Amino acid sequence: MYRSTARRAGRLATASLLAVAAVGLTASISNAATAPAAPAAHQTAAAHGVSGTWHGTLKYLAPGKLTVAPKSGTEQGFYVGPHTKVLGAAAICASNGNVTVDKHGYGTSKCTEAQLMKAAKMNSVEVRVTVKDGVATTVAEHYHP
């Protein structure tokens, strides 16, 4: 009986360690401009809840999780939430098939999360992403003909 209980406790401890490691890996994508250089043990805590604005290529990571990869610098991961505003110009979505942009070349057509996820899988859409506490508040496509 003692061996069975000890074996279960060992398995539970191993499973707990694996779960903690998986969570740490998921949250470890960080941006050097936002999070100060820190030892590896502290990078996960510094990356969780990151805020800022990044410009780069939109990439798909997992359902509800995307990244933006600047031309130079660290790729930044972020979540898409129910209040994330997605604005397309042409590639993410367009209004009645027309390109819609503001004076800076960023999309103005309201898009769905499904359209955003599909565009992210193309790995070619340039965006400006504003993130607060790890969740995107706005993802705006940068149009370049």
User: Which amino acid is present at 41?
Assistant: A
Are 65 and 118 contacting, i.e. CB atoms less than 8 angstroms apart? no
Question: Any idea where the domains of the chain sit in the sequence?
Answer: 49-141
**Residue 99, class by beta-carbon neighbours within 10 Å (0-12 exposed, 13-18 middle, 19+ buried)?**
middle
Residue, of 3 and 124, whose pLDDT is higher = 124
pLDDT at 140: 98
Task: Show the tokens assigned to 73.
Answer: 């610098």
Q: Report, in angstroms and rounded to the nearest whole number, the Rg of the chain calculated over CA atoms.
A: 19
Q: Mind listing the pLDDT tens digit for each residue in 90-145?
A: 999 988 889 999 999 999 999 999 999 999 999 999 999 999 999 999 999 999 87
- What are the φ and ψ backbone dihedral angles of 59, each rounded to 5 degrees? -135, 145
pTM confidence score: 0.67
Whether residue 73 is predicted with pLDDT greater than 60 in this model: the reply is yes
Q: Mind listing the pLDDT tens digit for each residue in 26-67?
A: 443 433 333 333 333 333 333 468 999 999 999 999 999 999
Task: Show the tokens assigned to 126.
Answer: 């340039």
- Residue 79's alpha-carbon distances to 99, 106, 143, in angstroms, are 26, 21, 23
Q: Count each helix (H run) and each strand (E run) in the chain, helices first.
A: 3, 6
Nearest to 55 by CA among 37, 40, 33, 35: 33
49-141 topology per CATH: OB fold (Dihydrolipoamide Acetyltransferase, E2P) (2.40.50)
pLDDT at 144: 84
pLDDT at 48: 64
